[in-house]
Amino acid sequence: MSDMHANEAMKPAKLRHLETKHPDYVKKDRAFFERKGEDYRQQQQRMVNVTSVFAKASSYLVAQRIAKVRKPHTIAEELLLPAAMDLCDGGERCGCQIAKCISVK
């Protein structure tokens, strides 16, 4: 459920998200939130790196399969990559970006 607020509710005096949703964080200092933000950014970067490694490995496996069946490499660009995008719904529904990252080597 999303908390949508009217313009009147967005005035600084009426913003109490921290007090109502996260009461245990009310007394924390600014440095605590800066550390949390940095941890979050590092976690995002690790996920991007892991996803890139898996995408590259998948790309090499596809290239190897294509070579084994002695098909032209363009079959990956014309058939397999669009099929992977369809399976992942373009990365939109399942949230995965792997199909967008796979390149044909």
Predicted pLDDT at 65? 82
Q: Which of 52, 75, 49, 50 is nearest to 62 (CA)?
A: 75
Are the C-beta atoms of residues 73 and 63 closer than 8 Å to each other? yes
Predicted pLDDT at 32? 92
pLDDT one digit per residue (tens) for the chain, 105 residues: 456 767 777 777 777 888 888 899 889 999 999 999 999 888 888 777 777 777 777 778 878 888 888 877 777 777 777 777 776 665 555 555 555 555 544
Predicted pLDDT at 31? 94
